[in-house]
Structure 1
Amino acid sequence: MQFDQKKTHDLKLNPKYQNLLKWGLDNGVIIKDVDLPAAFGELTGVVATQDIPANTAIICVPQTLIISQEKCKLSSLSIVYDKHPELFDENQTSDAEFNILIFYLFNEKKKGEQSFFYPYIQAIQTNNTLIDWTKEELSQIEDPIVLDEFAIVSEDLKVLWNYAQDIFNEFIQIFGEVRPTDKQDFYWAAQSVMSRSFGWSLKSTSMIPIADFLNHSNKACTHYFVHSKVEKLEQERLQAKNNRRNNQDSNSDIDDLQNMEDSFIRLVQEYYKIKGNKINLSALKIQQDESKIKQFEDQKKTFILQHQQYLTENQLKDIDNLENLSNEVKRSMINWINYEKMIQKPEVNLWDLGFVTSSDSEDNDSDEDLELARNQQLESVRQKELIEWKIKLKEEKQQKNQKQGINIQEITIQQQNQELNNQQNEGGYKTDSENIVTISLNNEKKNQLTIQGLPTQQIQTLKQNQQQMMEQQEQQDKENESDDSEESNWDWLEENDQEAYFCITTTEPIKQYEQVTVSYGRRTNRFLLSWYGFTLPENKYSSFNFRLWLNTEISKEKMQSQKQIFDTITINKLISSKEWDTGKIKFNGYEIPVSSITKEFRIKKKKLNMDLIMYLRLYLMLYKVQEKDVYITIPVSVDYEVFVMQFCIQLLQHYLNSYSQELAQDIKELDTQISFSRRFALHINRERKEILINQVMILLEAIIILKKYKESNDLKQAYISEIHNNVHYKVEILRGLKGYLQSIHEFL
């Protein structure tokens, strides 16, 4: 949304914002190169008043203004927290930090103008979480799991309110007499903590005035905790050290700096991590050598410049203006480069696409331990199937040789000698006993794969797969870099330290009049709507999530239609903790064992979901066809792969048919003036349909490639002619299929 100067002028006349800013500035908040409040359509946020470089601190809030768990425990509410550990002790409940903040904020609101935080509280009088939505508004969200998650949040809040009433009566001397507005104010406090608190990379969940007026987006600022005194001392130390190295300032005070006896400074220096090498701290009046600060790199621009020889004449006209081009235009140029490389270089295959994209990044709303366990289990299955596949391949070869009347023993000896010669030439070795596949991780070499027992081509392919996974992880690490807490120990931080600041910091350049946003984490729209009450129009972290029931009786029943089959095996609900404990769920009239339900499939917008393909290989083998020797992780035939993908398309189409209106109607309605609740509901509904449609398009393209491959037995030549007429779209499809196409090339 564009910056609206007129609406911004009106917002600035609002006393609640004027009082908030005056209170913040009077109490040490520093604001540089940005302004608030600022209007962007109907949203109120923060605007850049000039071009701002990457890695620059723009809003610094002193620790004295931060409402932290520790500060709450030092207040008059400490007796309340101690008396009720079932609500406020993190060892007894995972909601302790939230509960502590909710009760504190409620009490501060009840104090009115007597509260130090009154200007802040007045400025956040309204919230827009799902708690305030009507039943009719909630019914417009066509995602059952969002509604299930909200129902849990809503019920938990009701239970907390019931506890709160008893506590208020118990501690009238602290909370004052009961008022008719108490429930409304308590719910306000709960919604404020839900939607405005900061948690990750902090000592504890906290409310941070003014910083929480930045809206959320994926292209956003991050935050650091900065101790200005320590940072200044560090810069002085570096300057003194540099002067001494250059034989300047012989009377430098570096010795005094190194011999400081201040115990606090030594404690801070032991645990606090310097930020001056990462971010520009000029907002805090800290002088730095800017050449030493981490520089922003536009990876798309770098890739294009490194491969500009593949660009067309028209594209080269923009080569000196890349920083002003949209990401979509740069992505199109990257896709063209990849296409031209495939055309010009015979060794470049369909899956050899340069530039690792983060468009399908995983969100951080999933259980990492469960995901790790699942990946380990899948790796075990893959290793087992590789062994079986190699043995089967060897047996087929022996049978073929026997039919041709060839002496197997002689051939085996010749093959072993040839393999030994090849490995000696490559600097490797292999014993005669190594006749099966072995894959091991070398911890000393950062989990480098050691693979034995496969033909050279398969080994190289597997190693390429590993290299690509490493590249993707590196890209993810770069993306996560600003998410990670700099501190692992917070002993240096004191609650009333006026020189400790929470600093909002840019991660990439921001243009004048752009909205300045902060990231709440890699959050899906489902999570954002459930917790914060809003969605993003475009959210790269979103996915379409569902489960399937491995119903062993489905093929035996006389189903009248495929719709009945899909209605039976698709699970569109959130499995509650109680259901996990009992081991059964009730859905669509069935009592289903949890053990027979798949893990949650998470389909991304631009990438083939291999988990679903692997599951359907197994499901269709057991209950729909009599295909022999089917593997979960390995394709066995082109025809069976096509069959699996056709079934997958029908399954996804089943989900598409469940919506009340088509995608085109969603898009048309979003262009009109509608309420926020309707707009956010449509964002959820639209993105889910787009994910499904994109996955169907990827599957359809995969079927085309498979059929052409069956005819020519050459993946690249079978499809390269299809790309020319729509390079950007087709290369995007290939990007989503790259892992799958490699497996086709490797095993078929």
Structure 2
Amino acid sequence: MEADTIEKVYRDNQARKYELFQEWCDKNGIKIPKLEYPAKFDGGLVGVRAKEDIEHREAFLYVPFNLLITMELAHNHPIIGHVFKENPKLFTKVHDDFEQLTLTVFMLYEYQKTTESFWFPYLNLLPDVEFFCNWSKDELEAIDDPDLAYETKSYKRDIELEWKEIELLLNHYPQHFDQQIINRHLFMRIFAQVCSRCFGWGLPTTAMIPMADNLNHSHITVINETINKELQIIGDSKNKYFTKDKFMNDYQEMFTDEEVRKSPYNIMGRFNREQFKINVEKYSLSNWKKEIQEKHLWDLTYKDEDYDEDNDTSEEDDDEEHFDEDFMKNSSTAKSQLTSLGQKLGHDKLAEDLINPKKGFKFFIEQEQMILEKLEKKKRQILEKQSQLREEQKQDSHNSRQTPQETKIIDLTQDQTTKNESETKSQASISTEVSTLAQSLREINLDPTALNLDDGDIDYDYEDEDFSWYDDEKMRDGTYFVLVNCERKTIKKGEQVFYCYGKRSNAFLLLNYGFCIPDNKYDSYIFRVKLNVNILDDISDFSEILPHPENEDDMLCAEEIRLKFDQLNLVLLGYLRTVFKGYYSHKTHQNESGLLLTKPKDIDYEIFIFKKYLGLLEFLQYFKEKKSTLEQDLELLKNQDLSYQLKFGILYRVEKKKIIRSNIDLVKYILRILNLLKKSQLSSENNKTTVSEKQYKELYLDQTEMEANNCYKAWIMTSEFNEEEQYYQKRLQLRGYLRDLAELTGICLT
């Protein structure tokens, strides 16, 4: 068939593409009982809409594995399977993009067949996708991110090389691939479709999945499961197929009524919906509003949100690839400066750890937090033991009619040299351990091997399912790709239904998918701070602590900081506390040994540090908004005639500016609290704060500048945004710091 004829077939079927695709889905067993597709949304966006409510833990999309375009399908294809087997350098793990190239070549082969291809209705439906790296110069400049724009050059070079590799391959197999049809344009189009739409996580194989890939991306918790009907009915907990999450969900739409009656718990889910409703209420806004009447912020029922992005470790890999193991030996200047910073942390030998990409400054923050957590744990053990001793003494007193002696409570911040004679041996052992940890903490000795910390409380990264149970030849029939609503709320009728492509930052989404999203909780504003810095005098020009991009020592000896919307960055706070400690101690003639990285220990020093924090943020804001302000960009986004490239480019830089502005607002809020606490100290005779618990609560519940000016209404674009909920979230992520301040200033906590 001629190239023009093939293109005409696809053009002629465009008008009926949705109808043809829906008929194909119905005929081949795709089930979407509660979904409407296609559905139109604002700006002409095509996606999927809920026709009915979709409850938590309810499966709502089922695609038989027979409809998936997979690696195994390609490699075992009766006609072109040998192409993949004969070219392992392209189609095995030897090549970085072997999965995407395998699927692309398979789809190119099927594309040629037009209506004779089983997948024609699916191929005919797929939209044109343009790689971000192919945007025009003006469109790339709109993002106002030179680092990301630079990264597109290597991305573009890589895909051009991959086209050359595929072009040479196709020339070797003219019996399968028509070179007049499969040109660079068609390769780029289908390769972009594969790269932006294929699934990998939670599957035994990377695959293109019809219908599932029509859901747009958001950070909603919709997960995919691989469900085999026979194994699901059996529900054998000893089989590798079994996972706890998999058997919590309701899959009854893919089973007959008879099958559901025979195995209801395995099919409808071992999920306690009543208990779930109770838990939802516990963590709800309405409950926070009730609890805050009687409790402090840090005592509210709250679960930490996860905002850490996961960009397939590419950013981390980049750091490690460029890490020079011999750098410390060759650069005496950098080594000297880092050793100075290491001494501030309490260890000369920490200099090399600071520039190790596997550790860095964040590593030391985490180590100190671990020590503090262990101290709190030991403190609870001691208090529990002392409570038990008091009960025993009361009993002895009652028996002997004598008055029991009062047991002293050990102060974790003081050396313990005396112990009550009635302490048990176990309590003495605990007390000794506390003293050792406290001494380590005072010296900020963060060497984990010396502390011999256990990892009992560490949360490990979730690992993908073990798919050794799956046999593609035997199980392709009877196995389904399933999407499940695991968001802790109902997807309401009429709402757009999303799928989360992963914890992706806007930079990752733009580079790999060609779009970004507003109010992305996994987005960050990224910059670096120098570790090879020695501050002897006060600074007002914050470029002194930011690495110069052309200075090799600076760039290698730098810590990456990721600012998040409305969140205090503890790594940056710990960094500022460390690098300014020597200067501040010299200026005020105070002993610096008691100052920590992760907890406030001196209110004057906290005020000093947060002023530096604010100064740095305003420095970053000045350069980020030099070309256009946040308000100007928001106005530009109202233009309905913008190309989608310019729209995403402006949106990308808007989100960065919102992150910086929200951090400025947060730091000003903290400074206001610190200054009022300090003012109350100065007005008292014993240098203790005169602020009561009630006044302190009023202080931290007071509106920030951003909240008072209704900035959220102007900035936030997502329809489900709840301003009152954000008000609590903003403070709840600060609850630990606010409690530390209360303890530091002597506010009585009940």
Q: Distance in 1 between matches of 2:465 and 2:432?
A: 50
Identify if the C-alpha distance between structure 1 residues 431 and 542 changes in structure 2 by more than 3 Å, giving closer, same or farther: closer
**Alignment check: 8 A CA contact 2:47 2:216 kept:** yes
Tell me if structure 2 keeps the 8 A contact 1:645–1:703: yes
Query: CA–CA distance in 2 between the matches of 1:641 and 1:738?
Result: 16
Q: For 2:569, give the aligned amino acid.
A: N
Report the alpha carbon displacement of residue 130 of structure 1 after superposing the two structures with TM: 1.3
Deviation per CA, 1:351-397: give whole Å up to 9, x if none. 33332242x52222274999984565444456899999xxxxxxxxx
**1:550 lines up with 2:531 in the alignment:** yes
Residue pair 2:48, 2:498 contacting (<8 A) in 1 also: yes
Are residues 1:538 and 2:515 paired?
Answer: no
Kindly, what percent of the aligned residue pairs are identical? Answer: 26
Change in Cα spacing, 1:509 to 1:609, as seen in structure 2 (3 Å) is same
Could you give the per-residue CA deviations for residues 153-193 of structure 1, whole angstroms, max 9, x where no partner exists? 222111111212221222222323344x6101111121111
Deviations 1:604-653 (A, max 9, x none): 22321110011112222356873551543444422222121111112111
Counterpart AA for 1:707:
N
| Structure 1 Cα separation of the partners of residues 311 and 183 of structure 2 | 33
Q: Identify which range, 27-36 or 730-739, moves more after superposition.
A: 730-739
* 1:124 Cα deviation after fit: 0.6
Aligned to 2:667: 699
Q: For 2:240 and 2:370, how far apart are their aligned partners in 1? A: 44
Q: 1:208 offset after TM fit, Å?
A: 0.6
Q: Is the 8 A contact 1:220 1:516 kept in 2?
A: no
Counterpart CA distance in 2 for 1:297 and 1:14 is: 47
1:78 is matched with: 81
| Equivalent residue number for residue 552 of structure 2 | 591
Normalised by the length of structure 2, the TM-score is 0.70
For 2:363 and 2:661, locate their aligned partners in 1 and report how far apart those are by CA, in whole Å.
31
Q: Which residue of 1 aligns with 2:24?
A: 23
Distance change in 2, residues 1:223/1:690 (3 Å) = same
Query: Hey, what's the Cα distance between the residues in 1 that align with 2:422 and 2:654?
Result: 55
C-alpha separation in 1, matches of 2:281 and 2:370: 40
User: Who is 2:420 aligned against?
Assistant: 420
1:279-331 alpha-carbon deviations (Å, 9 max, x no partner): 232234342537754245797x7468569xxxxxxxxxxxxxxxxxxxxxx53
Gaps of 5+ in 1: 1-11, 235-265, 308-329, 343-347, 389-413, 439-450, 456-465, 572-586
Q: Confirm or deny: 8 A CA contact 2:59 2:250 kept in the other structure.
A: yes
Matched, 1:514 2:495: yes
**1:719 to 2:732 alignment:** no
Residue of structure 1 equivalent to 2:214:
213
Q: Where in structure 2 are the equivalents of 1:328-407 lying within 5 Å?
A: 331=285, 333-342=286-295, 348=296, 350-358=297-305, 361-365=307-311, 367=313, 373=359, 377-380=364-367
Question: In structure 2, which of residues 616, 626, 638 is the aligned counterpart of residue 671 of structure 1?
Answer: 638
AA aligned opposite 1:189: I
| Correspondences of 1:45-64 after superposition (within 5 Å) | 45-64=47-66
Q: Which residue of 2 aligns with 1:738?
A: 735
Corresponding residue for 2:5?
none
- The one-letter amino acid paired with 2:21 is L
Report the counterpart of residue 473 of structure 2 in structure 1.
Answer: 494
Deviation string 1:61-98 (CA, Å, 9 cap, x unpaired) is: 111111111111112443333333332221x2332212
Q: What is the CA deviation profile of residues 563-614 of structure 1, one whole-angstrom value per residue up to 9, with x for unaligned ones?
A: 5x42x6435xxxxxxxxxxxxxxx554333544111x211222321110011
Counterpart residue number, 2:405: none
Task: Write the letter of the residue equivalent to 2:241.
Answer: Y
| Alignment match, 1:243 | none
Q: Structure 2: which amino acid aligns with 1:287? A: V
1:168 equivalent in structure 2: 170
Instruction: Report whether the alignment pairs 1:279 with 2:250.
Output: yes
Letter in 2 for 1:279: D
- Amino acid of the structure 1 residue aligned with 2:477: Q
Cα offset for 1:747?
5.8
Task: Say yes or no: does 1:647 pair with 2:590.
Answer: no
* Secondary structure at 1:430 match in 2: helix
Aligned-partner SS, 1:679: helix
Q: Which amino acid aligns with 1:601?
A: I
Other-structure match for 2:546 = 570
Are the counterparts in 1 of residues 59 and 249 from structure 2 also a CA contact under 8 Å? no
1:610 maps onto 2:570 in alignment: yes
Aligned 8 A contact 1:335 1:732 in 2: no
TM-score by length of 1: 0.70
- Partner deviation per Cα, 1:507-563 (whole Å, 9 max, x = no partner): 34222222122111222222222211222222222222221123537879xx9x945
Q: Give the match's secondary structure for 2:217.
A: strand
Report the count of equivalent residues: 593
Structure 1 residue 195: Cα displacement: 0.8
Q: Counterparts of 1:649 and 1:119 in 2: how far apart (Å)? A: 56
1 CA distance for matches of 2:478 and 2:25?
15
What is the CA–CA distance in structure 2 between the aligned matches of 1:56 and 1:534, rounded to whole Å? 29
Q: Which amino acid aligns with 1:340?
A: Q
Aligned CA distance change for structure 1 residues 422 and 171 (closer, same or farther; 3 Å)? farther
SS at 1:548 equivalent: strand
3-state SS, counterpart of residue 52 of structure 1: coil
Write out per-residue CA displacement over residues 256-285 of structure 1, whole angstroms, 9 at most, x where no aligned residue. Answer: xxxxxxxxxx9x984323745522322343
Structure with the higher strand share, 1 or 2: 1
Alignment of 1:626-637 (within 5 A): 626=586, 628-629=591-592, 630-637=595-602
Query: How far does the alpha carbon of each residue in 1:22-54 deviate from its partner, in whole angstroms, 9 at most, with x for none?
Result: 222222222212121111121111122222333
Change (3 A) 1:71 1:133: same
For 2:610, the aligned partner's letter is M
Note if contact 1:385-1:634 (Cα within 8 Å) is conserved in structure 2: no
Could you list the per-position Cα deviations for residues 477-513 of structure 1 after superposition, in whole angstroms to 9, with x for gaps in the alignment? Answer: 9xx7xxx655442433437722111112223422222
Checking the alignment, whether the CA contact within 8 Å between 2:227 and 2:479 is kept in structure 1 is: yes
For 2:191, give the aligned amino acid. Answer: A
CA separation in 2, counterparts of 1:64 and 1:164? Answer: 27
Superimposed CA distance per residue, residues 425-445 of structure 1 (whole angstroms, 9 cap, x where no aligned partner): 9x723389668433xxxxxxx
Deviation at 1:738, TM superposition (A): 2.2
Contact kept, 8 Å, 2:365 with 2:597, in 1: the verdict is: no
Q: Which amino acid aligns with 1:647?
A: K
What is the Cα deviation at residue 726 of structure 1? Answer: 4.1
Contact 1:385 1:633 in 2 (8 A): no
CA contact 1:37–1:46 (8 Å) conserved in 2: yes
Q: Counterpart of 1:114 in structure 2: which amino acid?
A: E
C-alpha distance 303-381 of structure 1, shift in aligned 2 (>3 A): closer
Q: Secondary structure at the match of 1:59?
A: strand
Name the CA distance, whole Å, in 2 between partners of 1:532 and 1:185.
Answer: 18
Deviations 1:387-418, CA, capped at 9 Å, x for gaps: 99xxxxxxxxxxxxxxxxxxxxxxxxx99686
Q: Which runs of 5+ in 2 are unaligned?
A: 1-12, 321-356, 376-413, 443-452, 682-687, 705-723, 746-750
Is contact 2:535–2:579 with CA below 8 Å preserved after alignment? no
Task: Determine which structure has greater relative contact order: mean sequence separation of CA pairs < 8 Å that are 6+ residues apart, divided by chain length.
Answer: 1
